[in-house]
A and B are shown apart, each in its own frame.
Chain A
Amino acid sequence: MFAYIIRRILATIPVMAVVALFVFSLLYLAPGDPAAVIAGDQATPADVERIRAGLGLDRPFLVRFGEWTWNIIRGDLGVSIFTNLPVSRMIAQRIEPTLSLMVITLFLAVIIAVPMGVVAAWKSGGWIDRAVMAFAVLGFSVPVFVVGYVLAYYFALGLDWFPVQGYTPISQGFGPWLSNLVLPAVALSSAYIALIARITRATMLEVLQQDYIRTARAKGAGQRTILFLHALKNAAVPIVTVIGIGVALLIGGAVITESVFAIPGLGRLTIDAILRRDYPVIQGVVLLFSFVYVLVNLLIDLSYTLFDPRIRY
């Protein structure tokens, strides 16, 4: 098990290297000249050239990539072109709202979607099942910003239950922190819930056909025990896998959700950086997101052993 974890962690290195190369070259190839942007409208070509040299943009690609990688390994993500602040500090300032939003969304999605899928499978073909499936299609096909605006319109502007937008750090109290995150988390979770509920239903349908479910019933086990112990534990591996894959969905969704609800998180930072062609910031944020995704999926793989004794590393 320990050896496996070490092996898996080592295996993330080439993955991250490929991600790094991709991130670096994508922005290198993208149109627009950051030197010209920083210099502003009134700059002479000589000014632009001076800024470009200062940023090191005039040197060969591989040299820059090598340098950049070496700096990242040392924990230096570079300095923002726009604010002149270290990228790592900018990320640290923005990480709390995004992390809060993602954790709450994840929690909300799992506690709603899994029981939904379980009940749909149990009552398959019935009205509950059809309602869940309809919701699943809807949740997946309505974009997150539409859900966000609709929620804000009714529950913030109309009923005034929650703030319309903004973010309160958790250090200023759990209540205010949570109330600011409820609507964004609900909006962000809708597609995620749809995804998890669908896979839960499909897997449970298969598991409920198995002989050991009949054995459990013959023992006199109640419906709840059968569904949530005997069946769900067998269905857990595909479900947690999709929860892990869905984290990618969350990352993309967080960027949009933070814009809709004006949350000063990494998503906003990313969009601002893209608009300003702030290369170091974009690279830092994308690398961080990739790293989180790789890490989450490693944890998911390791969690399999909790659910299925036949899986041993």
Chain B
Amino acid sequence: MALLEVENLQTHFRTPDGGVNRAVDGLSFSVEAGETVAIVGESGCGKSVTSMSILRLIPEPPGQLAGAIRFQGKDLLKLSEREMRAIRGNDISMIFQEPMTSLNPVLSIGQQIGEALRLHQGLSKQEAEAKAVEMLTLVGIPAPAKRVREYPHQLSGGMRQRVMIAIALACNPKLLIADEPTTALDVTIQAQILDLMRDLKHRVGAAIVLITHDLGVVAEVAERVIVMYAGRKVEEAKVAELFRSPKHPYTQGLLGAVPKLGSSLDNETERLAEIPGLVPSLKEKIQGCVFASRCPKMTELCREVPPALEEKAPHHVAACHYAEREAIAA
């Protein structure tokens, strides 16, 4: 049994004008224990909403969740709010994109790390602080015994993200959801945080769902990739396989938009490829393929019939009528 199984997840939002925004529309994927799975896609494709849905942090209403999110076989969507609270920060925890604003400015670092420990493990104030110092050491913050009494404004962005990681890992979660954990940081700090996450993953043994739009990050840390577009999964494969042979035209477009070392920028013919057009509005039900309006290979069929997710190569699925299918070994 997989650690996390998301099945036909639909996260819809009622809009004030009476419409429905289908932020996530029929998403299925699974995560094995200890595995790192990346979810990639551009802004607004539903990847953050997916992560918030797993922890049920979507306000309902206006949000509305359907489908199933099975964690260790239990459907999280069927749990009461109280049962869900016992899971948040304990079995499943989360790191957010904005380290500058994700920490409470008026509570000390120690209090914020200790909170989850006191909630889920019933530690006393002193025990929680001792454990917080231990966690700060683990995430590589110098002078942890001093830092534990300090406040977020006394730390830099990279330090704050380390604190966020310490909070998330405090209770030894089985699943860590990292929503763009390095996007707001500068490049050298990004590399440090990624190294830290990789290192801790081995030590703690947690599975990671990494939400990102940065394919460089994906290549560095993930084992499997899910490509999302307009609230749906359009492709899924092992990282090496996806980079070697992307099947979906959208994935091909994404990879084409990444600059390569050695390519010169002043040469007009070597301009970075871009995907023309805009992400479709999620307010209307899309008839055919979600990517049709921007796809270079689009035909009449694409406008009419939504392509099914098919295995185009071993353990490599894509939703496209025209992606070539490789011989699948038995």
Q: What is A's interface to B at a CB cutoff of 8 Å?
A: 210-212, 214-222, 229-230, 233-234, 307-310
Assess whether A233 is in contact with B107, with CB atoms less than 8 Å apart.
yes
Residues of B within 8 A of A233 (CB): 104, 106-107
CB distance from A308 to the nearest CB of B (A): 6
Query: Do the beta carbons of A218 and B151 come within 8 Å of each other?
Result: no
Number of B positions contacting A (CB below 8 A)? 28
Chain B interface (Cβ within 8 Å of chain A)?
55, 57, 85-90, 93-94, 96, 98, 101-108, 115-116, 119-120, 151, 153, 164, 167
Which residues of B are found within 8 Å of A211, using beta-carbon distances? 96, 98, 101-102
Q: Determine the main DSSP class of A at the interface with B.
A: helix
The residues of A that contact B86 with a CB separation of less than 8 Å are: 220
Tell me whether A220 and B104 are in contact (CB under 8 A). Answer: no
Tell me the total A-B contact number using a CB cutoff of 8 A.
Answer: 71
Residues of A within 8 A of B93 (CB): 218-219
17 A-B interface contacts by CB (under 8 A):
A212-B102, A215-B167, A218-B89, A219-B115, A219-B116, A219-B119, A220-B85, A220-B88, A220-B90, A220-B116, A220-B119, A221-B115, A230-B107, A233-B104, A233-B107, A309-B153, A310-B153
Do A220 and B96 have beta carbons less than 8 Å apart? no
Please measure, in the bound complex, the distance between the C-alpha atom of A218 and the C-alpha atom of B153, giving whole angstroms.
21
Contacts of A216 in B (CB 8 A): 104, 115
Instruction: Knowing A212-B102, A212-B105, A233-B107, say if A220 contacts B89 (CB, 8 Å).
Output: yes
Residue of A nearest to B91 (CB): A220
Q: By CB atoms of chain A within 10 A, which of B57, B102, B116, B167 has the most?
A: B102
Complex A-B, nearest 4 residue pairs according to Cβ-Cβ distance, in ascending order: A219-B89, A220-B88, A220-B89, A211-B101
Q: What distance in Å separates the Cβ of B123 from its nearest Cβ neighbour in chain A?
A: 14
The answer, among A210, A218, A310, for a CB contact under 8 Å with B101, is: A210
Contacts A217-B88, A219-B115, A222-B85 known; A308 to B57 CB distance under 8 Å?
no
Report the minimal beta-carbon distance from A228 to chain B, rounded to whole angstroms: 13
A283 to chain B, nearest CB (A): 43
A307 to B151, CA, bound (A): 12
Contacts of B106 in A (CB 8 A): 233-234, 307-309
| Cα distance, A233 to B151, chains bound together (Å) | 14
B86, B87, B108, B167 — which one has the most chain A CB atoms within 10 A of its CB?
B167
Residue among A210, A218, A221, A222 making CB contact with B55, cutoff 8 Å: A218
Starting from the known contacts A220-B90, A308-B105, 4 additional A-B residue pairs (CB-CB under 8 Å) come to A215-B96, A218-B55, A218-B88, A310-B153
Across-interface contacts of A230 in B (CB, < 8 A): 104, 107
> In the complex, what distance in Å separates the CA atom of A219 from the CA atom of B86?
9
Q: Which residues on the A side are within 8 Å of B102 (C-beta)?
A: 211-212, 214-215
Contact yes or no, A212 B151, CB < 8 A: no
- Of the candidates A215, A229, A309, the one whose C-beta lies within 8 Å of that of B103 is A215
